[in-house]
Amino acid sequence: MEDLVEGIVTGFPVGLKRSKRGAKGPAERKAALSAEPSAWKRRYAQYASHLVQRLGRCLLATAPAKKSVATSTLTMRREPLAGLMAGLCMGLAALCMAAPALADASSADSRTDRPTLLVMGDSLSAAYGLERPEDGWVSLLAMRLEGEARVVNASISGETSAGGATRLPKLLGQHSPDIVLLELGANDGLRGLAPSQMRRNLESMIEKSQASGARVMLLGIDIPPNYGDAYRQAFTGVFDDLAERHELPLVPFLLEGVALQDALMQDDGLHPTAEAQPIILDNVWPTLAPLLEQAKPEAAAGKEAISPDSSAAVSPSQPVPGALPAQA
């Protein structure tokens, strides 16, 4: 069996090895290969057939097939069955060898005692403009929760609340999250879209997430004052009203301590730098940590349908003036 395995690994007809070894340079090797294409094809076919036959005999412990006196070639009566059985045995052997690794990966990914967090956001959560995506605050969150929770980042730069509402149902079905973090609306504001439209989209996402058994957490954002006080108040009021109506934990302003610091913002003045990402995580963590503690026993119990707990909610407050939102 060892010499058979070696033949499969080396996998090259002896005649072709010698021809290539004798040729000097790529041009001559190419010429050697193309000199008698039919001969090389026939040699490869014979070599492959020989390996299949030997493998079938080793696996099935069958006796060598008889040679025909008239043709001095192997009869074909047993070769189809031998080849088929050899292929089946090879497949079963591969599955048996891979089964432990697959089982470990599946069990690690599907542990019911680990909550799953789904982050639905825009460029602020998609590490836009960072040289290393792993420096983004969501990646930092995943590292902090390694072994304790599974973090799925479904954020897309340039995403609006309408885009998130469209994508969410499929993501809920794929990942069955215990917690959904909604960080959307900045691009709605930059485009001057109606706050009432953003409210409908976010509320739809909240209701669908809760219907799937997930807890929801809102990450609020602000827009520059030059949009006008009336529009700005209507925009920021959406997050406050939804958090109060649905009793949701709320981070009033995701970029607290970042947006007004030029050193922590990229050249576009809209997106935070890598140095700002730990600060953003620190803004999220105090509100998220209690939610995680509540989700852990529910995940261990099989993630039954839940209703938001008002004790986990954070009282909304006014956003920091002069904040700059994100866009892609």
CB 249 within 8 A of CB 313: yes
Which of 125, 161, 178, 271 is labelled catalytic? Answer: 271
Q: How far apart are the first and last CA of the chain?
A: 59
Which of 104, 268, 282, 309 is labelled catalytic? Answer: 268
Is residue 157 part of the annotated active site? The answer reads no
* Amino acid, res. 178: D
Helix (H) or strand (E) holding 35: helix 25-35
Question: Nearest CA to 163 among 139, 196, 197?
Answer: 197
What number of CA atoms fall less than 13 Å from residue 142's CA on the CB side? Answer: 16
Please, what is the Cα angle at 257 between 254 and 262, to 5 degrees? Answer: 110
Burial annotation 188-217 (CB, 10 A radius, 16+ → b, else e): bbbeebebeebbebbbbbbebbbebbbbbb
Interacting residues of 152 by C-beta distance below 8 A, sequence separation 6+: 116, 117, 118, 119, 171, 175, 177
Helix/strand/coil for 110: coil
How big, in percent rounded to 5, are the helix, strand and coil portions of the chain? 55, 10, 35
Interacting residues of 220 by C-beta distance below 8 A, sequence separation 6+: 236, 239, 240, 250, 251, 252, 253, 254, 316, 319
Is residue 268 part of the annotated active site? The answer reads yes
Which of 19, 122, 123, 178 is labelled catalytic? Answer: 123
Helix/strand/coil for 195: helix
Is residue 50 part of the annotated active site? The answer reads no
User: What's the CA gap between 176 and 78, in Å, rounded?
Assistant: 51
Give catalytic residues, as residue numbers: 123, 268, 271
